[in-house]
Amino acid sequence: MRKTIVLLLCLLAALPASAQGLRTRVEWGVLGGVNVPDYSTSDDCGSIKNKLGWQLGILTAVKMGIMAIEPQILYVRQGLRIRTADGESLNLRSNSIDVPVLASLRLLHPLRIYTGPVFTVMNDCKRKSGGDLLDFGRIRPTVSYTIGVGAVLVRRLLVDLRYNGQFRSKHDVVLPDGRQLDKLRTYNVAISVGYIF
């Protein structure tokens, strides 16, 4: 998997060199929307109910002909409820800062197709207890991936659909009650609307 990530990053780095003769243009904008997470585990921890999440952030793009490199910074919130076998309910919330670095193909205007790695540089987890949110841990930085499609309407309005997945499960996740999940997998589908300045 590391070889795949290194190869993708090398290809992204080579694109500007291969496009020296092309006219480049820089775009930037804002992006926000909802995500539908899918948390799952092979452990016998009871039932997991996923909650609707959201994301908000800024996007940039360096366009070189029909290709573009699109680094972004997104604040992402997701949640889930775990109902244990003994009937206890744990409401958990995850807040993260994600940095997708996308390569996009813009061959058919107004469509764009993109893929790339997503670097999660911060991820903290909170538990809702009564009216309080209690911090119970941080998950170390991870690398995941995204694939998606977008369309720019009326020259400035971006509508975006993405599938975000993991290269590997999170291991040894400790829940606030001390229970440990051997593996926790997270995928999500995100639908966003943005404005390009």
Query: Tens of pLDDT along 114-136?
Result: 999 999 987 788 877 666 666 75
Q: Does the domain made of 2-196 have the CATH classification 1.10.3720.10?
A: no
Predicted structure pTM score: 0.79
Which H or E element spans position 140? none
Query: Tens of pLDDT along 156-195?
Result: 999 999 999 988 766 556 666 666 666 677 899 999 999 9
Check: CB of residue 191 under 8 Å from CB of residue 33: yes
| Lookup result for tokens 């999440």 | 53
Q: Within 10 A of 151 (CB to CB), how many other CB atoms are there?
A: 14
Mean pLDDT of 144-152: 96
Q: Report the alpha-carbon angle 16-162-99, nearest 5.
A: 55
Check: CB of residue 12 under 8 Å from CB of residue 55: no
Residue 90: is its pLDDT beyond 90? no
The full DSSP string for 12-52 is HHHHHHHTTTSPEEEEEEEEEEEEEEEEE-SS---EEEEEE
**Sign (positive/negative) of CA torsion 115, 56, 51, 129?**
positive
Which contacts of 9-12 are long-range, i.e. CB under 8 A and separated by 24 or more positions? 9/101, 9/117, 11/103, 12/69, 12/101, 12/103, 12/116
- The mean-pLDDT minimum among 60-64, 85-89, 140-144 falls in 85-89
Tokens of 100: 């997708």
Residue 1: is its pLDDT beyond 60? no
Residue 41 identity? T
Among residues 110, 87, 102, 121, the alpha carbon closest in space to that of 196 is found at 110
Instruction: Give the whole-angstrom CA distance, residue 63 versus residue 127.
Output: 42
